[in-house]
Structure 1
Amino acid sequence: MVLGASSSIARAFALEAAAQGDDVLLAGRDTADLERGAADIRIRHDVQVEVIDFDAEVVDSHDAFVDAVTTRAAGFGDKPLNVFLAFGLMPDQSAIDADPDQAQRAIMATYAGAVSVLHRLAPILEARKSGHVVVLGSVAGDRGRIKNYVYGSAKAGLHAYLQGLRNRLFRSGVTVTTVKPGFIDTTMTWGMPGLFLVASPRDCARACLRYAKKGAEIRYFPSFWWVIMTIIKNIPEPIFKRLSI
């Protein structure tokens, strides 16, 4: 199941999973777009693909969504339910500073919505006693930076939540992988100044699938971001607050 399936990384992930023979459940708001993507996957890889409506920001709809997932999953037989969560919202920090309501929406779409749906899916995963959960975090969550600290705080909260969820689901044989990408060539990053070493969505999707198969816990993508963020995290606060990064 791909949550936020219209994003470029999610599309690539769905295609890569299908190429390995996995059936796919695409979840997102733009179901017309997802139906087109589903048709493409079926033609390319001859696997079962379903589309289901999902909105991370409308948490009141998540109970009904999980009920629908349970019904749809029954049609896939006894196969493990693997979850890839790829949604988030990153307004420009200056726009958030001008309109604080955008901060609430970024937190809802990036953190609260993810917690809401994952916590409802957890009992299903526990009952099946198998499967993988892979969630796109971000290097932005490793330290609050002046350029995107609201989005970064949402990702930081998500990272902490996933640590606890990992401990919980481990007892049922389910792995939880947090992937922290650096700059990826997506609509979210398009036009942002100062980007460097930008990776492709397809390479990120392939890495996420590989991490899931290995049951990895926390991974940076590309891997050199671990070095970059280790340096950034260890800059003393009196120095860091004077930097424009």
Structure 2
Amino acid sequence: MSYILIIGAKSDIAKEVARVYAKNGYNFYLAARESSSLEDLKQDITLRSGVEVVLKEFDITDFASHESFYGSLEEKPLGVIVVSGYMAEQKSAQKEWSETLQTINVNYTGAVSILNIIANDFEKERRGFIVGVSSVAGDRGRKANYIYGSAKAAFSAYLSGLRNRLYESGVQVLTVKPGFVHTKMTEHLDLPPKLTATPNEVAEDIFNAQQKGRNVLYTKPIWMVIMLIIKHIPEFLFKKMSI
């Protein structure tokens, strides 16, 4: 079976994505910083699903290393799933440029850097799929998280353009927009249960959407309705709101 490359493989969502794809027979490259920490996940997936799992060291903010990283993959992947994410506290990002830059580089610039390389290969081979995990936060800037949201908005726009470009080559590009998800990144937040998904729910949704050839996935699905409403609030009203 073909290999899937997961970038940002240490995230809670990425681990569940790996388990879901493994159940369906796919082999893996799990790419992350300090990838040796994924050894337990590798062993678990191997024992449960009998697939090949290769750990790869990868820093999404080390742009100069991305070309050699992709070239080092002995078998090029059938698909790539980018799950890397970084969400600083908004007030911290407003005051500390390093936090703003890290947010932009992890959520947007680094993802674009590696996906440009992969997209060129997939386009030449006329095969493959790309999944990018963005966020509903990118659908409209809000004062609660507009630095993170702006990076995700840029990533969503990039994926949209990439989908348009690669369509004729038969390469699928799926934009994933999760709402609230129970992860380490959100454990300090008081999230509404009915609007909050588990990493496994998100992973199952990603697999099903990718297999069906969909373009955009909101997960949970209710977020498509919520964001449609939020996007259509007139600006003269929206700027006064705290949502």
Pair in the same fold by TM > 0.5: yes
CA contact (8 A) 2:36 2:55 kept: no
Distance of 1:15 and 1:159 partners within structure 2: 25
1:238 Cα deviation (Å)? 1.2
- Mapped to 1, the partners of 2:82 and 2:168 lie a distance apart of 21
The partner residue of 1:132 within 99, 105, 129 is 129
Secondary structure, aligned partner of 1:143: coil
Q: TM-score, normalised by structure 2?
A: 0.94
Q: Secondary structure at the match of 2:71?
A: helix
The answer as to 2:2 corresponding to 1:4 is no
* Structure 1: unaligned runs, 5 residues or longer: 75-79
Residue 194 of structure 1: how far off its partner (Å): 5.1
What residue in structure 1 maps to residue 154 of structure 2? 157
- 1:91-240 aligned at under 5 Å gives the runs 91-193=88-190, 195-196=192-193, 197-240=195-238
CA drift of 1:211 comes to 0.6
**Distance in 1 (alpha carbons) for counterparts of 2:206 and 2:63:** 26
Q: Which residue of 1 aligns with 2:62?
A: 58
RMSD, aligned CA: 1.2
Specify the code of the residue in structure 1 equivalent to 2:112.
V
CA contact (8 A) 1:6 1:30 kept: no
1:110-129 deviations in Å (ceiling 9; x for gaps) = 00000000001112212332
With the length of structure 1 as denominator, give the TM-score of the two structures: 0.94
Q: Work out the CA distance in 1 between the residues paired with 2:40 and 2:82.
A: 20
Unaligned runs of 5+ in 2: none
* Sequence identity percentage: 42
Check conservation: 2:196, 2:220, Cα contact below 8 A. Answer: no
Count of residue correspondences: 238
Counterpart of 1:61, as a letter, is: S
1-side partners of 2:124 and 2:52: how far apart? Answer: 23
SS in 2 for 1:188: helix
Give the whole-Å Cα distance in 2 for the aligned partners of 1:21 and 1:229: 35
